Structure 1
Amino acid sequence: MSLFFIYILAKKNRLIYIPLAIVTFLLILYYPASIYFDITKQGVFLSTLETNKSEVFEFILSLTLHDYLIVLFSFFILVLHSYTATQLHSFIRNKYLTYIFLVLFSYIYSINDQISLNLFKIHNLYKNYSNELNKIKDAKNQPDTWNIISNEPSKETIVVIIGESVSKKYLSVYGYNDNTTPFLNKINGRFFSNYISPAGFTALSIPRTLATSQNNIINYENNAISLAKKAGYKTYWISNQGFIGEHDTAISMLASKSDYISYQTDRDYINNKNDDFKLLDIFNSINKNHEKKVIFIHMLGSHPDFCARLHNYNVVFSSAYGKNFNCYLSTIHKMDYFVSNIYHTLNKNKQEFSLIYFSDHGLKNSSHDIHKIRLIHDDTHQDNFDVPFFILKDNDQRHEVIDKKISGFNFLNYFSEEVGITTKNLSNNRATQRMVLSGEELIPYENLILKQDIYAIKK
């Protein structure tokens, strides 16, 4: 009703009507996204600024029929408002306009605080983003400040695989009912069952995992790449996530510290949808070099659209929770095969190696239908932070599941052990209260929403 009154008033002046129609049109297009994402959250806002064409395209394709019907209905209402307002405007007298102004005033007053608050939040988010970009730019030329106590590397090759959107609860190695990780179920290694990511979005999580931070302030110069170099390793970064944007992001800045960098998607993401398996060819080429090396592999993994991530890999599950969820489980099965391929290659070459895997964040189920699952990004649920973390070595003697509480903020403690470095910069206390970045604040992990799903009951 309020929108209808606004259109009647706007008909008195085209300078008001035309901008109003444009804004309404844009809001209608934005509405489906607003159902699943809150633009005033730091992670969503940052992801929006750093997105690429393919992610936008895939998001549009991932919308349900219900979402599209809402958009079409909204367009119909927009046209109806415009037409009806035109017909009625000539019959409305000034006294009626007075009543309309009162209704509008009441409406605007009721929503004014929320609109002002959201605009203020967005303004602050962009301001903080700009400041962070300046820090990233400055950090590119800043030397590290690692204070090394000892340096005794023992492994020839270290591989760090960074997964995407993989929730721990759906890996059978951690107890999920379906056999999503047949290789990991049997292989010897250390599997950490109580590891959490620092944030619920890639752009926020990876920098806080791979670089030191204090009170949510990231020290970009002290990172895993520079630490590996201190140990005498040559560093490689190969990624299936595109190099995007007109300027560096935190992740691309960290990657730029490597001796060798390869992005498989670059800017033409839509026309170059590379399979994660193509990263294996680059890995095999690098691995032929007989040198001490650390290879970082950034997968596209289980990033939505899940079915698009499979390429020629089969959908190997047929649960009752929908095609999209079956594709998601299959992307985890594919990740398991990806890891096994790298492990067997290293083992076949009789290399002394450490293979480390962690996912940047998990996903939560946003569906209220118990017969359907819709997994999305967020930072309010524990599911968004519960991710797999495991380390496989050439000399592992047993399969060990470790229930110790670990935060992604302490990832570098474990990484430093694998590269053989002891440094004063890293805290030895890994059992401190685990904090996560939710919204713009660090909060205890235990304060997040815990949701037990009937389809995710462990054995």
Structure 2
Amino acid sequence: MKRLNVVITLLLSLLLTIGVGYNGNEMIVVSGCLFLALIFLSSKRWLKWLVIFPIGFVAVLYFQSGYIYGHPNIGIIASLVETTKRESIEFLLAVPIKVWLLNAILLIVFGYYLIRIEFVFKWHKSTVLLGGVCLYFSSLSLFVNHIYISTEHYIAQMNAIRSSIHQAANWTVLSAKPKYKNYVLIIGESMRKDYMSAYGYPINTTPFLAQTPAILVNGYLSTASHTAVSLPRTLGISNGLDLHPVNNIITLANAAKMKTIWLSNQGFIGKYDTAVSVIAMHAAEKQFLKKGNFLTNNTSDYALLPLFKQALAQPYNGSKLIVLHIMGSHENFCDRIKKDIYGLKDKDLSCYLSTYNQTDNIIKAVVNDLKSTQESYSLFYFSDHGLDNVSTVKGQTQLVHGDLYKQNYEVPLIEIASDIKQHTMLNKKISAFDFMSIFSNWIGVKTTQLPAFSVYQAPRVNNIHVLSGNKMVPFNSLKNDPDEIIKPH
């Protein structure tokens, strides 16, 4: 029986370590420490229930997220807090069966350990002390530490963002000379640039963007790997973890006397409940297609097009800024599209590529509407972050959020305008932390708060940093996705 208990305890330590998002070389050390902690602390039943049970129970609940996304970070905490009920259900339905099975095994093993396993030692105080030391260096201790740090960062971010709604932007506008009548910013979701035919992917996923006169930046890097963390640092002034959310694209456009309109197909929980909705609240007009409750429909991005036409038709003497925040390539991919147009054996990949084609069609429709006004226009499109492939089954794709690979940050940045006549690929690394400067130049506004420059004028920086986990890291220090580009068979 003792040998069986040792085996079960070892299995429990491994499953808990995997479930809280640790792997590789560090897994051997932290799971080994956890194994010893579980052995030593089992000598006192009350210790198991007072110490191991609460932490272990949270780890069991976190298992699906930890197995797929890794250990807790500010992006995961933000996603957990800001995700609508529908998106939560979509996530649970997308979890592979093998993960559910492992989670079930973990639950059974954990229950068996709590109820049945007890190792008796002669020196009780020394054993408990040693167990406490081992627990401190174990995966469960790291798990708690990551939750604490991530939650602290997230609370600081949301406090800064929520307080900004009651603050007046402190822009000092030196000059405001918009070049175009209509400005459109389309914010994409979860689109890696290397799956776009416009950037060289072998399947024709983005036929319009691949051919239309435009400037395509090949080297644009998102600030972070999750929407709730990336966008406030892209659409407002930020130098990393710190934010100045009141100084954002909407308040800058307002200061330039532009009419600001925000149209979103992303979930809306409440005015001050997400980083993006707080920025949107500064717009003169805003419409959210989803209200974030359980009965929210899976609204297509195409539903934004009639609203865009209405916004475009509104009379206004000055220039307009219309923001379209689409669902794009958000998980689950097959739920985002009307039809899988590629029919690949790898269904997930096929649907993911079909979302690209759909976004391409939406951009094409927006451009056609802009042309029909016979007014000058400029459109920017970028994606908030990329994804990486975590599949362990050959030939099957599982693209998810992550922050370990370069592809989590390599996203498109494209400008289409009434006076752009050529299709140009600009091979240049540009950080999304500089998007505010690019935006300021784009709408023709100069301020004392930040420099204004075009994508051509953006400084060449060799050591661009991105927000990975809870800290800024050099982009060049990240690895390539092992399945960098999945090509159809």
Whether the 8 Å CA contact 2:72–2:143 is kept in 1: the answer is: yes
Partner of 2:161: 136
Name stretches of at least 5 consecutive residues in structure 1 with no aligned partner: none
Cross-structure match for 2:17: none
Equivalent position SS for 2:154: helix
> Retained in 2: the 8 A contact 1:154–1:419?
yes
Look up the SS of the partner of 2:336 in the other structure: helix
Letter matched to residue 49 of structure 1: V
2:78 maps to a residue whose letter is: L
1:404 aligned residue: 428
Question: Contact between 1:169 and 1:456, CA under 8 Å: does it hold in 2?
Answer: no
In the TM superposition, what whole-angstrom CA distance separates every residue of 1:96-152 from its partner, at most 9, and x where no partner exists?
A: 464899877655533322444432332233233333332223211222222323221
Q: 1:380 to 1:81 in 2, by over 3 A?
A: closer
Which residue of structure 2 aligns with residue 375 of structure 1?
A: 399
Residue pairs, 1:304-315, within 5 angstroms: 304-310=331-337, 313-315=338-340
Q: Alignment partner of 1:277: what SS?
A: helix
The letter for the 1-side match of 2:323 is F
**Is 1:194–1:404's contact at 8 Å kept on the other side of the alignment?**
yes
What is the rounded CA distance, in whole Å, between the counterparts of 2:366 and 2:43 in structure 1? 66
Q: Structure 1: how far apart are the matches of 2:388 and 2:272?
A: 31
Tell me the CA shift for residue 42 of structure 1: 1.8
Which string of whole-angstrom CA distances, capped at 9 and with x for unpartnered residues, describes residues 18-75 of structure 1?
Answer: 9976765554342222112234322112222222211211111011121122123334
Partner of 1:40: 72
Choose 362-371 or 297-306, whichever is displaced more: 362-371
Cα 1:215–1:9 change in 2 (3 A) is closer
Q: Give the match for residue 82 of structure 2.
A: 50
Conserved? CA contact 1:189–1:396, under 8 Å: yes
1:430 Cα deviation from its structure 2 partner? 2.6
Q: Quick one: which amino acid aligns to residue 110 of structure 1?
A: C
- From 383, 391, 401, give the equivalent of 2:415: 391
Q: By how many angstroms is 1:260 displaced?
A: 0.6
What is residue 479 of structure 2 aligned with on the other side?
Answer: 449
- In the alignment, structure 1 residue 192 sits paired with structure 2 residue 221: no
Any idea what SS the aligned residue of 2:476 has? helix
Which residue of structure 2 aligns with residue 357 of structure 1? 381
Deviation at 1:246, TM superposition (A): 8.3
- Amino acid paired to 2:75: G
Structure 1 residues 7, 63: CA separation in 2 closer, same or farther (over 3 Å shift)?
farther
For structure 2, which runs of at least 5 residues remain unmatched after alignment? 1-5, 13-37
SS in 2 for 1:331: helix
Conserved 8 A contact 2:236-2:243: yes
Letter in 2 for 1:430: P
Q: Does 1:414 align with 2:438?
A: yes
Gap change, CA 1:117 and 1:277, over 3 Å in 2:
same
Shift of 1:267: 2.5
Paired residues, number:
445
Corresponding residue for residue 244 of structure 2:
219
Letter in 2 for 1:295: I
Any conservation in 2 of the 1:410–1:430 contact (CA below 8 Å)? no
Q: CA RMSD in A?
A: 2.9
Alignment of 1:214-363 (within 5 A): 214-244=239-269, 247-291=272-316, 292-310=319-337, 313-320=338-345, 322-363=346-387
Q: TM-score, normalised by structure 1?
A: 0.88
Mapped contact 1:39–1:45 kept (Cα < 8 A): no
Aligned: 1:430 with 2:454? no
Amino acid at match of 2:288: Y
| Alignment partners' CA distance in 2, 1:7 and 1:152 | 69
**CA shift digits 1:369-422 (9 cap, x unpaired):** 441221111112100000011010122211111112211111122222331212
**Offset of 1:456 from its aligned partner?**
4.5
Q: For the Cα contact (< 8 Å) 1:136–1:248, is it kept in 2?
A: no
Whether the aligned pair in 2 keeps the contact of 1:242 and 1:269 (CA below 8 Å) is no
SS across alignment from 1:341? helix
Cα distance in 2 for partners of 1:438, 1:332 equals 25
Give 1:337's aligned amino acid. Answer: N
